[in-house]
Homo-oligomer: A and B are copies of this chain.
Amino acid sequence: MAATLLNIYTEPAKTRWPELGTRPAFDSSSLEVAVKSILEEVKEAGDAAVQKFNAQFDGNNAADFLVPATKIAASEQLIAGELRAAILLAKNNIERFHTAQKEPVIKLETAPGVFCWRESVGIESVGLYIPGGTAPLFSTLLMLAIPALIAGCNNIVVCTPAQKNGEVHPAILYTAKVLGLEKLYAIGGVQAIAAMSYGTTSVPRVSKIFGPGNQYVTCAKQIVSQQGTAIDMPAGPSELAVYADESCIPAFVAADLLSQAEHGKDSQVVLVASNPGIVTDVEMALQAQIATLPRGDIARAAMEYSRAVVIADPHTAFDFLNDYAPEHLIIASENAAGLSRFVVNAGSVFIGNYSPESAGDYASGTNHTLPTNGYAKMYSGVSVDSFVKKITFQELTGNGLQTIGKAVETMAAAEGLEAHKNAVTLRLKYLDNGN
């Protein structure tokens, strides 16, 4: 008899929750030496080092990394009309969702004559890393470039590894084309992070780097983030938690769990069910579905670390889920909308039977770059916010300074900062003298 795919825990005590929510500890320190040496070499030798590592890791010997505009323009011919239409549909929805994130400028008069506001200004130079290894993630290019464009970033640099044939995947080229991106470089892995972080003769230096990647890329992003380049967020393996009650459709739940499990052997899959029968039904559906999957072996490996937790009380179940803080949370219940009000910690929430994670991964409009590894407790997914800085402005009239000046003087003096006080005192005297 085949072992079950789900590892079942019934009504675990709260003291066991941290253990059940533990992600596999990944110690990047073993990679650090190798990654640092690549970073250093690119910092020193620039394009020559990029070329060397491109050859070594991707078999790409080209000395020119910039993808010619003609290749981007011609990409339309290389992919099926159906895929082009899908990309355009996704683009449209992602644009709608992210355009609504633009903040209006609200000029407040906090006190008479004291005007304060903030304005969102696009980060001038951003770098997007698009993995190309096991899959050409053109969806990630949509998810990162669209908010960057809406934010008004002037300089959007994209790096992605060439395929074995030396070319960037046509779906990535086509996505760049429809987005109007021109700075697309065939550079992969750590050397891409290095090139964007330090700049080379051919690759512009950027202020912030976005995008997923393998453990080497993640480690490189972490290192450059200590050296003055910002990054989108700390990364870990992708995760999905599904809450399912009696009204769920077990085959849907199984399909969703597998869509997560196929990502990688380290993918995290958690099912929280309101009774044991649901787990049994989902298990049966999993067994049936996994057999037909091309990436079934990966999914099977990931399922070894799966957790199916039975918790009858929905309040307790959501306490558990908030404690786990999943990247993706599907609520498979006819009462999903009501239950969604219990969510405190999650990256993205999928409500009801017709909201699979795949919808948000590709085309509903929400972003798929989300916090993993429990970081949903304090990080948001990528949005237009991630591509802007919000600058505060203030303008005080003479009258405004007279309104709050005394308070500033008093507070500055109490903090022992007389020059702070003096900057106000001088002006108040000037105003008193009728100048």
Residues on A facing B (Cβ under 8 Å): 79, 82-83, 85-87, 89-90, 92-93, 96-97, 100-101, 106, 108, 110-111, 114, 116, 118, 121, 123-124, 134-139, 171, 207-208, 222, 226, 228, 230, 249, 251-252, 255-256, 258-259, 261-263, 289, 293-295, 299, 336-337, 340, 343-367, 371, 373-381, 383, 385, 388-398, 400-401, 404-408, 410-412, 414-424, 426-427, 430-431
Measured between C-beta atoms, what is the minimum distance from A261 to chain B in Å? 7
Chain B residues with Cβ below 8 Å from A376 are 389, 391
Contacts of A348 in B (CB 8 A): 391-394
Measured in the bound complex, the distance between the Cα atoms of B134 and A294 in whole Å is: 64
Q: Which of B116, B123, B365, B424 contacts A110 (CB 8 A)?
A: B365
Cβ of A163 to closest chain B Cβ, rounded Å? 13
A412 adjacent to B85 (CB under 8 Å): no
Instruction: Please tell me if the beta carbons of A347 and B412 are within 8 angstroms of each other in the complex.
Output: no
CB within 8 A of A415: which of B137, B371, B408?
A: B137
Check if A255 sits within 8 Å of B422, measured CB to CB: yes
State A207–B371 Cα separation when bound (angstroms). 14
Max count, chain B CB within 10 A of own CB: residue among A261, A344, A355: A355
Give 4 closest A-B pairs by Cβ, nearest first: A110-B365, A86-B407, A351-B395, A86-B410
Check A360 against B121 for contact (C-beta < 8 Å). Answer: no
Contacts of A350 in B (CB 8 A): 394-395
Inter-chain CA distance A381–B388, complex, in Å, is: 12
> Which residue of B is nearest A263, CB measured?
B417
Give the complex CA separation of A5 and B345 in angstroms: 52
B121 contacts A344, CB within 8 Å?
Answer: yes
Contact B124 A111 (CB under 8 A): no
Q: Is the CB of B412 within 8 A of A255?
A: no
Does the CB pair A83–B360 fall under 8 Å? no
Distance in angstroms between the alpha carbons of A259 and B411 in the assembled complex: 14
A404 touches B349 (CB 8 A): no
Task: Determine the chain B residues whose CB is within 8 A of the CB of A346 once the complex forms.
Answer: 391
- Taking a contact as CB atoms under 8 Å apart, the answer to whether A423 and B255 are in contact is yes
Given A360-B394, A392-B349, A426-B251: A417 in contact with B343 (beta carbons within 8 A): no
Instruction: Tell me the complex Cα distance, A345–B137, Å.
Output: 32
Is the CB–CB distance between B349 and A418 below 8 Å?
no
Select from chain B the residue with minimum beta-carbon distance to A402: B354
Among B92, B258, B355, B361, the residue within 8 A (CB) of A395 is B355
Assess the A407–B90 pair: CB atoms within 8 A: yes
Contacts of A139 in B (CB 8 A): 411, 415
Given contacts A116-B365, A116-B366, A427-B353, contact A295 B419 (CB under 8 A): yes
Closest chain B CB from A111 CB (angstroms): 6
A206 to chain B, nearest CB (A): 9
A96 to chain B: closest residue by CB: B110
A359-B408 contact in complex given A376-B389, A414-B83, A420-B259, C-beta closer than 8 Å? yes
Taken together as a complex, chains A and B put the C-alpha atoms of A359 and B135 apart, in Å, by 53
Distance to closest chain B CB from A134 (angstroms): 7
A429's closest neighbor in chain B, by CB?
A: B251
Choice from B222, B360, B378, B412 contacting A362 with Cβ under 8 Å: B412
Least Cβ–Cβ distance between A297 and chain B, in angstroms: 12
Contact yes or no, A418 B86, CB < 8 A: no
Which residues from B are CB-within-8-Å of A295?
Answer: 416-419
Residues in chain B near residue A367, CB distance under 8 A: 392
* CA distance in complex: A51, B86 (Å): 61
* Least distance between A333 CB and chain B CB atoms (Å): 12
B residues near A340, Cβ cutoff 8 Å: 393
Contact residues in B for A111 (Cβ distance below 8 Å): 89, 92-93, 364-365
- Chain B CB within 10 Å, residue with most, of A171, A299, A344: A344
Whether the pair A392, B96 counts as a contact (CB closer than 8 A) is no
Known: A363-B411, A364-B396. A419 touches B259 (CB 8 A): yes
The answer to whether B85 and A407 touch across the interface, beta carbons within 8 angstroms, is yes
**Extra 12 A-B pairs, beta carbons < 8 Å, given A136-B414, A356-B401:** A92-B111, A97-B116, A100-B106, A255-B427, A289-B422, A354-B401, A357-B420, A359-B405, A364-B404, A371-B389, A376-B389, A376-B391
